[in-house]
Chains A and B, each alone.
Chain A
Amino acid sequence: MEVFNAPAPDFSCERREASTVTPQVFSLFHSKASYARALALAARVVKETPTDRAAIERCFRLTCGRVPGEDEVAACLAHWNKCQAEPAPHRAHLCPTAAGSASRGHRGKHRRKVFLHREAARQRGLRARLAAGDVLAEVCLVIFNTNDFAYVY
């Protein structure tokens, strides 16, 4: 809150100052808090939508309350693909799906094997989309930083 002029506790503050300074950029673009929200949005959106295009559109609906223009969708899709193509996973240490899931359920070796097999088959599609969601978080982070989202008219 400090970089957004949180008032000091020792004086009354009848009005908060609006400001636009570079330390705010760093907070909004680099902080764990921002990225956590971007991950959460991405995870929600990939679960709710069947295709990449629909995911981007859903992002804009949820953040800016509008349907994105064709050029905006194209730009976001291109960025998403570009990030996916990059060799090392971004922010892998922060991503829940990329970090791998811990084993759960334990009813004997065989049953566990069957369970995992079925589970894998069932979730294959979703899992792929969740991994894609980690990368989509990069797009979400950018959307959170747009003037459109940050300013209300």
Chain B
Amino acid sequence: MSPSTPYFPCAGARALHAPTRREFLYGLGASIGSLAFTSLLRAEEKANPLASHAGHFPAKAKNCIFLMMEGGPSHIDTFDPKPKLAELHLQEFVRAGQQKSAMESGQRYYVRSPFAFRKCGQSGADMAENWQHLAGVADDICFFRGGQVDSVNHPTAMYQMNCGNRFGGDPAIGAWVTYGIGSLNQNLPGFIVLPEVSYPQGGAANWSNGYLPAHFQGTPLRSKGSPILDIDPPTGITREHERANLDLLAQLNHAQQARHPGQDDLAARMDNYELAYRMQAQVPEVLDLSKEDAKTRELYGLGQDATDSFGRKCLLARKLVEKGVRFVQLYNGTWDSHDYIERAHGNLVRGVDQPIAALLTDLKQRGLLESTLVVWCGEFGRTPDNGVRMGTAYGRDHNPKAMTMWLAGGGCKAGHTIGATDELGMEAVEGVAHVRDFHVTLLRLLGLDDNKLTYYHAGRFKQLSQFGGKAINGLIA
């Protein structure tokens, strides 16, 4: 572990202790009034930072399950049909020179979608035919085709989708949300991440607390084997003994904290030991999926080769949300299908279709869908064309100018498709909105105002949208 990131204190909140040169200069501006304010802040800091508290607006969504399809799913082959591409199939495609990705090479040609489409549900939502299960819950979904991002490369696009900033190092959405409204269950982390065995491009910074206090960072659970290593104490160690060890630890840490006040990493680390102690009691029960009845296990596709992995994640996400965990992010992929889109996307859709449909169905039957915002997206969409890579392989390139994201539950406008892309799926042309607007919308649905959900860092108040955005009203019921 390394020391905490450079920290510039809010209104001199921490400047009264062990001032650094920068803190001292900053504190010169302090008046008696700000001293009183400082002590108020100090009192607030001591309170549990993860306690549940009200947001800025009344909101239906209390929790969020974020389904991150890492790698960039193709909107053209999933939820945004482009029949025009069948006409242009294999004709040469000439780029305007914009948005060239590093993957681009040689001659380019249009590629038609290998998947047939049909209209689903009362709402007539477009879905490729291989979304067999999701079709059954089409009316619970609000599709958004107007989304655009800035980056054509995976790690930067992942950072932007997860943290608002292409360069990483900023807090993830889950960190902002738990910072904004805390969490409902104090025996589990408020922001839990279920990554794949291999972490996504950009690594753990995708669920970082960034410059927010360390309490708000995402806690990853392992996707294979035991979700948390060594959660059980060794045999022979009683809970009383563990308590005694922790008490000694707290005593020693308090002495050290007195020497380094205001180090949130240290405070968070101490709190983590106490959370770990409480988690031991609750976590084994939550993580144990074997106790779920056969019907539920079957619903999520557990025990089936294709669906078992993501089915477990979806079922676990439902259980975590049910227990009051504020924000759960699930990773799947990689959806980076540069070649053989039929086989690659075919397998990927087979892996998530039933689990996601099961998640929406299960949340609904438990009365949790109203209060749970479900988000599905990748870091960008894909192009209607492909470069010639090893012959004609019918794949697709990265496309930051067009993508499909969707929402379900949590007060979104279910049963609607908002925005549109051009007839080739190259660029969003209707209801176009930058990812920052999408972020503002997510926060709004969770009862938070992006302009008020700020944190003072490096000389200015920072926010998820970076410098403000506009809620996409079409997505809100």
Contact = CB atoms under 8 A, between A and B. Distances in A.
Interface of A: 2-5, 7-8, 10-11, 13, 16-27, 29-32, 35, 69, 71-72, 75-76, 79, 82-83, 86, 88-94, 138-139, 141-143, 145-148, 150-153
Nearest to B278: A22
Interface residues of B, number: 54
B276 A22 contact: yes
Given A2-B229, A22-B279, 10 more contacts: A3-B229, A7-B203, A21-B219, A23-B231, A26-B276, A75-B251, A79-B248, A88-B236, A90-B241, A92-B236
Contact of A5 (B203, B233, B236, B256): B203
Contact of A153 (B205, B241, B260, B270): B260
Chain A's interface: helix, strand, loop or mixed, by majority? helix
Nearest to B202: A11
Contact of A91 (B155, B205, B236): B236
A24 to B, nearest CB: 7
Interface string B248-280: 110111011100100101101110110110010
Contact of B228 (A23, A29, A32, A148): A23
Contact of A20 (B221, B248, B272, B279): B272
A69 B259 CA distance: 12
Contact of B208 (A17, A26, A71): A17
Contacts, number: 149
A92 B241 CA distance: 14
Interface in B269-303: 269-270, 272-273, 275-276, 279
A146 B249 contact: yes
Q: Kindly list the 6 A-B residue pairs having the minimum CB-CB distance in the complex, ordered from nearest.
A: A25-B276, A30-B230, A26-B230, A17-B204, A5-B204, A21-B219
Contacts of B5: 18
B51 interface: no
B265 A151 contact: yes
Given A17-B208, A21-B272, A142 B257 contact: no
Nearest to A150: B1
